[in-house]
Amino acid sequence: MSIDDRVDVTQHFDVVNAFDMPRLRFNTIRKTFTQSNEKPNLLADANEKAALYRDRLDIIKQRIMHNEHFCPSSTQVADDAYLKLTPIKTLIGRDREHFLLFGMLTQLEEGKIFMEDEDAHVELDISQCQKNSGMYTDGTFVLAEGTYGDDHIFHVDEMSFPPGETREMTDTYYSGVDFLGLNKLKADEERLKAEEVKSTNVFFVTVSNVHLDEPRVMKALRRLFDGYENDTQIPLAFILCGDFCKDKSIDPEVYKENFSALADLILEFRGLATHSYFVFVPGSGDPTMAGGSLPQTPIPKYFTERMRQRVRRAIFASNPCRIRYCTQDIVVFREDLFSRLWRNSLLYPDMTQEDDPTKHLVRTVIDQGHLCPIPLSVRPIFWAFDHALRLYPLPHALILADQCESFGMTYEGTHCVCPGSFPTSNFSWRTYYPATRVSEKWYSLLR
């Protein structure tokens, strides 16, 4: 490849805010995704709430039907050659028969668990249920195998999440669908992919809970920036996640001054200020226009004016947001998701199968195809913008900025990264390397 044919991968970096993502719906008749003609509204009517769950169900169900265990080939004739889903409404009059159901877990009555699909619901008996790994909450979609009893209760023998679908498989079905709204790549995809793999010196730094009102955090950031400034490799991007203040009752002017102080700190390191992107993702304690619901809007310009003016590659994003780097899609989400899932589980994870709790977290999020699979009463979501929290197709990398212990693991082809809490983890962070799709944990120990 000649010098003229080389692609500058640093120019192929785009951030997509949640409110700019196209609203796609799965058309069950045409078997593809189509753009919704309805413009999403923050103050949506009640129909949008019903559509939220229906859309989630439709997407997961079509994903199930792609799976080889559920999709009979043309050579398969016998019914027992593949798994067959039974609609709940057809259970009536079929007592003591064995079925496999798909639907959403819900609590229609206090103390009772039900499963609901497009047309009906049935009460579940899970007293003898064996479950696979994951955290099962109100609103999660599951596969349940068992017997419909004379008591009109479905007695579950085994429960699991729907099988996942890798990004590569999704692309084979919907190669022409633009899920991010970025249209075509800026260069030939094969050339861009080749340069992406060769650019092993490109990496992202992810830091969470960047409390700018804590002097020790600012000191740790100075050491972090200084280390990269004097290194031979400068990060393409710093992904800094909130909350950006520890004190929830902080004065707005002080909050604004803290960002100005961070801008001054960044400008001390000319290499970083010139060549690195700085992506700021708000936490639940940061001032946004979302009012405590997801997705969160970017931090208002009033607080970040100096940063925007002086740090030319500063980007204030929504929560969640998406990053397109070359051919890779990366999702960034700041939420204390593990603790919320654990507290609201209807069925707790089977730790005998998997004793690493973070793997249960990752499997729940990936298999549900959604960033926040917990009840709306626990974590409100703007109904008309639920599509911005979907994980379909799966991203190449998922940054879950949680307060749980730092981790990096790959599941269903997606590398999942949690940097941990910067102030409470010896000022640790993680770096993500797109060329190899792996991450590493780093420390900035203060003496």
State what percent of residues in the chain have pLDDT above 70: 95
DSSP state of 388: G
Residues whose CB falls within 8 Å of the CB of residue 162, separated by 6 or more in sequence, listed in order: 60, 63, 64, 102, 141, 142, 143, 367
Compute the average pLDDT of residues 93-109. Answer: 97
Compute the average pLDDT of residues 303-327. Answer: 97
d(CA 20, CA 387): 11
Entry pTM: 0.96
Compute the average pLDDT of residues 365-379. Answer: 97
Compute the average pLDDT of residues 76-82. Answer: 63
d(CA 369, CA 59): 9
Tell me how crowded residue 136 is: count the other CB atoms within 10 A of its CB: 25
The chain-wide mean pLDDT, for the chain, equals 94
Query: What is the reported pLDDT for 2?
Result: 46
Q: Encode 70-80: b = buried (16+ Cβ within 10 Å), e = exposed.
A: beeeeeeeeee
Q: What is the pLDDT of residues 257-273, one digit of tens each?
A: 999 999 999 999 999 99
Cβ atoms of 67 and 73 closer than 8 Å: no
Is the per-residue pLDDT at 74 higher than 80? no
Query: What is the reported pLDDT for 1?
Result: 43
What is the amino acid identity at position 15?
V
Query: What is the reported pLDDT for 185?
Result: 65
Compute the average pLDDT of residues 193-222. Answer: 97
Q: What is the pLDDT of residues 398-443, one digit of tens each?
A: 999 999 999 999 999 999 999 999 999 999 999 999 999 999 999 8
